[in-house]
Amino acid sequence: MAHEYKATIRWARGDDEVFSDNRYSRGHLWSFDGGIEVPGSSSPSVVPLPLSREDAIDPEEAYVAAISSCHMLTFLSIAAKKRFVVDRYEDEALGIMTKNENGKLFVSKVTLDPTIEFSGDKVPTPEQIAAMHHLAHKECFIANSVLTEIVVAGIPSH
Residue count (the chain): 158
pLDDT for residue 113: 97
pLDDT for residue 157: 74
Q: What DSSP assignment string belongs to 19-48?
A: STTS-----EEEEEGGG-EEEE---TTTS-
pLDDT for residue 1: 86
The CATH code of domain 59-152 reads: 3.30.300.20
pLDDT tens figures, 49-92: 999 999 999 999 999 999 999 999 999 999 999 999 999 999 99
Omega before residue 124 within 30° of 0, cis: no
Instruction: Give the pLDDT mean for 137-158.
Output: 90
Instruction: Give the pLDDT mean for 16-35.
Output: 95
**1-57 and 59-152 share one fold:** yes
* Annotated domain spans of the chain: 1-57, 59-152
pLDDT for residue 158: 61
**CATH T-level topology, domain 1-57:** GMP Synthetase; Chain A, domain 3 (3.30.300)
The mean pLDDT of the chain is 95
pLDDT tens figures, 103-120: 999 999 999 999 999 999
Q: How far apart are CA 152 and CA 100, in angstroms?
A: 22
pTM score of the predicted model: 0.91
